[in-house]
Structure 1
């Protein structure tokens, strides 16, 4: 019997936390659901990752209004995935910021990703009918930009490929607070279906060099000590290297994708099986790892149809 597809069986509501990490820096987290970061500057607010729908953005705004009445001026997209970006219109921001690589991914596969993720995460797309369409940046940057929100300096950087080719982090150097997007997870399984697995560990090394004091991961609790930040970066790297190493070895030994998946699941289950969305992510993770180990450098586009075909092939 097939397992329930992706996260279609996950229907339980999560408890939201809104945590202050430094003056004017907050984490909106929800027990392993996608996180949102908030920066309050002198004259406005930046929201980092927008949630999946404008309706879901309303809850983020409600939390923001508990600490400030300043307008949301910026929405920053750490990457292009639908659960992170399609709620952007709900904030009424002056600008939506993304890396050029993220913009290119929206052009190339934004609609397919929307349809794919809507099928995988129905609970995360509350009131999907409120989504007006794809989210398009109004400011696109190459590699790095600095934004001054009054006296608060915000560094927006691409430090390397990993979760996608467009990954962007937000760094508050004065407070040593890092918003990592899905480059770092904490107690949650990294999704690597659109990843660059050879690059990702090196990108994590560059994040570690910042020596963050606090960190908002893509999923999982807000991290409020340097020790927890190091633990999250190390745990993400351990999952990636273990998963990719297992798949690469299986492929080199002539295993087909289904066999590589079974072998890799057996290797990872004891250490990572309790992490959030482990069963959801692993088939997508192994599929991408199998491609990359076979020389397919750039991730293939996931469509709703490809999702189901892959799931049945590996989990059926």
Structure 2
């Protein structure tokens, strides 16, 4: 017996509706909320996962600090829809204007929400090295790919947003009545890393210089520069560190060391083989990864991280 089902709408429309229903259901289960980490400081924590249509690319963190004159946002999350949700959450806390958004670096999961914030009048601040990425084929190809892989949350209306103010060196500013230190860190995780410290809050927003509760994403990072940057941050008197991924930390030194020690470990495992031009596969298989293999995203990221570090060592 063959069961035939008639739909009131074309099949492709029904499938799209079912997909969106699934996406919306998931979005309701994974809500974007702001957690307080200082007297006037908050953050939203993304999922420890790879970006997908199911999670709207909600895989990174964003920060919010409410000042006497307005609001400063750190990173804008991974889609315009998430940027709008972030605004809605801020509005539950204050009706002060959202005046500034600081990009810790120009990776897609941190900046695709920027357009939602500039549409309400926020000024974007970033490190000037991001200009090179914004003008590159890599940025355009990543956006084109995201329009497919992260649809419908990334679409033809999603655009790359440059900063209005570019930081060229360590800078101290008054933003929305807040004392803010912008610390130039790259090249490290990226060429344009910024760490943002609010002395009156004791909160450091470290971006993807720090990963907590998951294996870091290395990509095309300068692993040696990244390690040096983390050494620099270890001297900061922060009470709380908000990483680019994972929960906020009140054990700053310990959690900075997790990312730092992982990078040191992978470099040590790959260094001799890379310098002697020995096969990567042999070096990877010869390494005891048991120290990290139960950390979330190990299977998704570790081999790729090791290979990227292997290649970068050869170019040092």
Q: TM-score, normalised by structure 1?
A: 0.80
Counterpart Cα distance in 2 of 1:118 and 1:278: 26
> 5+ residue gaps in structure 2?
1-22, 49-58
CA contact (8 A) 2:211 2:259 kept: yes
Residue pair 1:15, 1:30 contacting (<8 A) in 2 also = no
Task: State the Cα RMSD in Å.
Answer: 2.3
| Count of residue pairs the alignment pairs up | 277
Gaps of 5+ in 1: 1-10, 298-316
**Alpha-carbon distance between aligned partners in 1 of 2:83 and 2:156, rounded to the nearest angstrom:** 11
Whether the aligned pair in 2 keeps the contact of 1:86 and 1:131 (CA below 8 Å) is: no
Deviations 1:278-313 (A, max 9, x none): 222223312321211112x5xxxxxxxxxxxxxxxx
Structure 2 residue aligned with 1:192: 218
1:65 aligned residue (83, 91, 95): 91
Counterpart for residue 257 of structure 2: 234
Contact 1:54 1:130 in 2 (8 A): no
Corresponding residue for residue 310 of structure 1: none
Structure 2 residue 274 is the aligned partner of structure 1 residue 251: yes
Greater Cα shift, 97-106 or 141-150: 141-150
CA distance in 1, matches of 2:156, 2:73: 19
Distance in structure 1 (CA, Å) of the matches to 2:124 and 2:109: 16
Tell which has more relative contact order, 1 or 2 (C-alpha 8 A, sep 6+).
Answer: 1
Q: In structure 1, how many angstroms separate the alpha carbons of the residues matched to 2:237 and 2:147?
A: 36
- The Cα offsets for residues 94-117 of structure 1, whole Å up to 9 and x where unpaired, read as 311111112222223321333456
Q: 1:18 aligns with which of 13, 30, 34?
A: 34
User: What whole-Å deviation, never above 9, does each CA across 1:250-286 have from its counterpart, x for those lacking one?
Assistant: 324543233334444xx22x22223232222223312
Secondary structure of the equivalent of 1:66? helix
Deviation at 1:87, TM superposition (A): 1.1
Which stretch shifts more, 156-165 or 35-44?
156-165
> 1:129: which partner in 2?
155
- In the aligned structure 1, how far is the partner of 2:141 from the partner of 2:211? 24
Runs of 4+ off more than 6 Å:
none
Question: Helix, strand or coil: the match of 2:241?
Answer: strand
What corresponds to 2:124 in structure 1? 96
Query: Taking structure 2 as the reference length, what is the TM-score of the superposition?
Result: 0.80
* Residue among 132, 135, 143 paired with 2:169: 143
Task: Verify the 8 A CA contact 1:213 1:229 in the aligned structure 2.
Answer: yes
Superposed, 1:219-230 pairs within 5 Å as 219-223=245-249, 225=250, 228-230=251-253
Instruction: State how far apart, in whole Å, the 1-side matches of 2:270 and 2:166 are.
Output: 35
